[in-house]
Amino acid sequence: MSTEHEQQRKLTVSARDLDEVGAQLARWLATKVDGDAPPRITSVDRPTAGGMSSTTVLFDAEWSENGQHKGGSFVARLAPDDRSFPIFESYDLVTQYQVMAQVAAHTAVPLPPLGWLEPDDGALGTPFHVMRRVDGRIPADNPPYVFLDWLFEASPQQRAELARKTVELIAAVHVLPDPAAKLPMLDGDGPALRRHVDWYRRWYEWAMADDGFPVPIIERGFAWLERHWPAEPGPDVLSWGDSRPGNVIYDGFTPVAALDWEMAALGPRELDVAWIIFLHRFFQDIATRFGQPGLPDFMRREDVVRWYQDASGHTLRDLDFYLVYAALRQAIVMARVKRRMIHFGEDTVPKHPDDYVMHRAALEALLDGTYNWD
């Protein structure tokens, strides 16, 4: 195979010809199913919306086994190519797949039915895994659902139903028994919360500081965490990691599939609860900044805490610490996203390094203890 062709195969799917991807998927699928004839890929597409941490391909396939028609609609999640200026330093699809498999086997959390894991990069130029596609709808991220969307247009009662059921979904994730034994790749030396924060510190250094782009407010945030460290964090559960409505497929206002497990880890349950509270406030603060009403009644802190405690029977502790940590984690995400946009000529270098963080004002207020949750 020529070097030029090898490089073409390793490009992210967003830069590929979808017909080529379909042909590659057909050849790969023929090695996975016991078909009477080679399977056919009848359509290949990319979602109109999605995150930047991975590549998603939607495809339909059909084949026959012993004369019986087989097939369906599938989703392939691919690791991003290094040249795409990825958000994360590494992308462990094997661990993601194993996390989803354990959650599916031992909890009531709805997930897309898992298909195949392909850890080798021979088929598509990068590892990937395949799931069955789940019908439904997902609240929009870009532009966020606080501006427009089916969730924005829903009644307050419908939004409250969706919010409560999503919080109950988080509680269901935390039910996974003995997560360290079932997912030893997530375990390690020392307390889980310390490992979690240390991982984010290393990610920040890779994403920004080591390249000569230190962000003072992020450094200040890590120092704040050390001064306010919980006396007794835990007990540890499986943390979904990116627990928010934008990673859930809904049938009406009921969750039918939890998505995106790339940030899964072991840690206190407050990690996920704080994340869903803050991520909505992140969007709501954007709406407020643009003079729009947003959804101030959605995912309110006191409501989320009550719903979670009712569903789990667990009393949440040290939530202020975890909310600051959620804002800090999102600060690293947004700083890396801005660097990526600058890299591709879609943004300009800010005058002050703290402006790599879109929600700089909110993070400053949280660190100062002046953020208004009402």
Residues 5-43: pLDDT tens digits?
333 333 444 445 788 889 999 999 999 999 888 999 999
Average pLDDT over all residues of the chain: 92
CA angle, 322 as apex, 319 and 327 as ends, to 5°?
A: 125
104, 132, 160 - which closes a domain: 132
Q: Is residue 274 situated within a structural domain?
A: yes
pLDDT band, very low/low/confident/very high, at 334 (cuts 50, 70, 90): very high
Location of structure tokens 């963080």: 357
Q: Are residues 128 and 156 in the same domain?
A: no
Parent domain of 260: 150-368
Q: Are residues 190 and 326 in the same domain?
A: yes
Q: What is the token pair recorded at 279?
A: 């991520």
Q: Is residue 297 situated within a structural domain?
A: yes
Q: Alpha-carbon distance 23 to 41, whole Å?
A: 7
Q: Are residues 27 and 85 in the same domain?
A: yes
CATH number of the domain within which 125 lies: 3.30.200.20
Q: Are residues 128 and 155 in the same domain?
A: no
Residue 95 has pLDDT above 90, yes or no: yes
Backbone angles phi, psi at 210, to 5 degrees: -65, -20
Contacts of 195 (CB under 8 A, 6+ apart): 188, 189, 265, 266
Q: Alpha-carbon distance 330 to 358, whole Å?
A: 9
pLDDT for 286 equals 97
Contacts of 153 (CB under 8 A, 6+ apart): none
Q: Are residues 205 and 110 in the same domain?
A: no
pLDDT for 83 equals 74
pLDDT band, very low/low/confident/very high, at 205 (cuts 50, 70, 90): very high
Q: Alpha-carbon distance 369 to 367, whole Å?
A: 6
Concatenate the DSSP letters of all residues of 297-355 into one string. TSS-HHHHHHHHHHHH------HHHHHHHHHHHHHHHHHHHHHHHHHTTSS---SSGGG
Q: Is residue 143 situated within a structural domain?
A: no
DSSP-assigned beta bridge partners for residue 309: none
Q: Are residues 345 and 287 in the same domain?
A: yes
Q: Are residues 189 and 244 in the same domain?
A: yes
Catalytic residue from among 236, 242, 285, 318: 242
Q: Are residues 49 and 177 in the same domain?
A: no
Q: Are residues 356 and 303 in the same domain?
A: yes
Backbone angles phi, psi at 11, to 5 degrees: -70, 155
pLDDT for 28 equals 95
Q: Are residues 228 and 357 in the same domain?
A: yes
Concatenate the DSSP letters of all residues of 57-114 into one string. EEEEEEEEETTEEEEEEEEEEEPPPGGG--SSS---HHHHHHHHHHHHHHS----PPE
82, 100, 132 - which closes a domain: 132
80, 103, 132 - which closes a domain: 132
CATH number of the domain within which 308 lies: 3.90.1200.10
Q: Is residue 316 situated within a structural domain?
A: yes
| pLDDT digit string, tens, across residues 165-183 | 999 999 999 999 999 999 9
- What distances in angstroms separate CA 41 from CA 63, 65, 68, one per listed residue? 9, 16, 17
Number of domains in the chain: 2
Concatenate the DSSP letters of all residues of 133-184 into one string. ---SB---BTTBTTTSSHHHHS-HHHHHHHHHHHHHHHHHHTT-SSHHHH-G
| Residue 242 designated active-site | yes
Q: Is residue 138 situated within a structural domain?
A: no
Q: Are residues 111 and 160 in the same domain?
A: no
Q: Alpha-carbon distance 342 to 218, whole Å?
A: 19
- The pTM of this model reads 0.92
Cα 156–chain centre separation: 26
Average of per-residue pLDDT across 37-55: 79
Q: Are residues 123 and 164 in the same domain?
A: no
| pLDDT digit string, tens, across residues 338-350 | 999 999 999 999 9
Q: Is residue 286 situated within a structural domain?
A: yes
Average of per-residue pLDDT across 191-202: 97
Residue 242 has pLDDT above 60, yes or no: yes
Q: Is residue 374 situated within a structural domain?
A: no
Q: Is residue 10 situated within a structural domain?
A: yes
